[in-house]
Structures are given as C-alpha cells and as structure tokens.
Amino acid sequence: MGGRSAEREISLKTGRSVYAALIRKGYAATRIDVDVSLPLKLRARNVQLAFLALHGRGGEDGTVQGLLEIMGIPYTGSGVQASAMSMNKAVTKAFVRMQGVPVAPGVVLQRTGNRIMPAQLSWPLVVKPANEGSTVGVSLVRKPSQWTGSLKQAFAHDHEVLVESFIDGREIAVSVLDGEALPPVEIVAPNAFYDYAAKYEKAETRYLCPAPVTTGQEQRVKALAVLAYRVMGCAGAARIDFRLNRSGRPVFLEINTIPGMTRRSLLPMSAAAAGLDYDALTERILRSGLARQSSWKTTRAGKGRA
C-alpha cells in the first residue's frame, strides 16, 4: 500500500482497511508501505502472497506486478500486461472500441505537441491525464476560457492528456469480480460531474446501489463491463466506469484494475448489494491470488528447466 503516486493517501486508507479485514479473518498479514526497498521488505517478511492495495502509478501500471513475478511472489488482481494497458485510458479505449464497446469521442494530446482545441470536438469537454486514476487532474471544460488552465492541470500529472466529449447523463460504475459483474452503482455528484472533490471531499455526493436503472440497462451495462474486463485481460477485482447518456445508452469511460476498498469505495458497496460483506470480499480477492499461485506452480512444473 502507499507508494509514491498521487493516490498515496487513498491507497493507505485502502491498505489499512484490507489489513484489518485479513486480520479478522485469521490471516498472518503485514502492512508494507512501498518504497525503493520493497524487494528487501518482501524477503525479510517472507511474504507468500501480495495483496495489492496500491492505486495509481507503481501499483496499477504493471510495474509492481513485474517485480513480484520476477521474485516469484503471487499477487492479487490483474497481471503485468492487463495492468499496463488498462492504466492508459487512451490505449484502453482503443482496445475496447475494437470489440464493440461504445466510447466517448476524443483525442490524445502530447505535452510537447499542439494544444489547440480539437476541431472535431465541441464544448463541453473532459480533460484528463491518460495515466492517472482517482480523477486526479481531471476537469470539465465548459467554455474556451477554461481550456488552457485545464490542460495545464492535466499535464502537471502526465505527458499525455486525453480530451473527450462530455457525455451528458448519469455516472454508472460496475465492479467485476473474477469475471462476474456485481450490481451497478450510480454516482450522483454535485454539478453532475464526478471529479476528485466530489469523490473524496464532498459529503453531498450520493451513491445509489443497486443503480435505479431499467432491467435492460442493467443487463447491457453489466455485459459491457464484463466484455471490457475480458478484452483487457483483467483478473480478480476491477471496476469499469460508464456514463449513461440521455438516451440511456452506456458509454465506456475507463477501467480501474485495483479498485478502492475504503468506506466510500464502490467495489465494497456493490459486493454488499450482492450479499458479500467487506471481510468476505477481501478474502475472495485474496483467494483469487492464491489460485494464481497454484497455476504458477503447475505451469513451472510442466515447463521444467530451460
């Protein structure tokens, strides 16, 4: 947990909650705040499996997953490739769009490139770093005077920025656990935009679970969530975010391969609606990582020494 990303504080909260649940379940858990000495900490504490509560860069981008694989330590959640691809919003959009998942129109801008408002898009726009989570650096741009400031904010977090058409409608999140979609959550945020402040600082943000949608809309959004999860090669728990436009059509936004597990997080909320309490959810995610350990042993035994 922890790490050095912009999501460090949220990761620490997730880590503390997960740790407490594992202790309640009787596991010999230890908390590791990630820094450059991570390999030494893992060996010193004889870690048999890593429960990843790392959000953002260094946690969701495949880097810590690669280290753990080199060290032969199984871990929870998605693998190296799925994590790296899903971390980049532009890459994710390209992959899921090829499989028929509807996405918002958008373009990618580079820090060293042209920063002119894309002619093919119109106001309002959403500007966000391509490789950040937890809505860090994200802004809704309603008029030209806000354009330069929003780009500056986004480029402060990444060299690559995604600019998308704002989908007027409802915010819907679908958590997927081991390939199965849980009840969707509707986020009702102040000013109809779910930014960092609405997510973590504003008490008036409301979460409706199960989301008050039609049966057809629920089936559609859950099917698209599972499709995106599989297309990207995800494993364990993930959260897929959508907007329902004014016609009730789901539009894909992004995938989170290490969803939050705090008191305000959406994955535990969805799991509870499906009859899975917080401790049971934590153990379910843990056991998914243990299943990975078994498959590793089988694969390595079959390959032998090269």
Catalytic site positions: 7, 134, 200, 239, 241, 254, 256, 260
In this structure, are residues 64 and 34 in contact, taking their beta carbons and an 8 Å threshold? yes
Q: Is the peptide bond before 259 cis (omega within 30 degrees of 0)?
A: no
Token reading at 53: 């509560």
- Length in residues, the chain: 306
Contact 72, 97 (CB under 8 A): no
Q: Which residue shows structure tokens 């995800």?
A: 234
DSSP three-state, residue 10 = helix
Please, which residues have CB within 8 angstroms of residue 49's CB and are 6 or more apart in sequence? 73, 74, 75, 76, 286, 289, 290, 293
| DSSP 8-state code for residue 124 | S
Q: Measured between alpha carbons, how far is 123 from 121 in angstroms, rounded to an integer? A: 7
The Cα 92–Cα 76 span in angstroms is 21
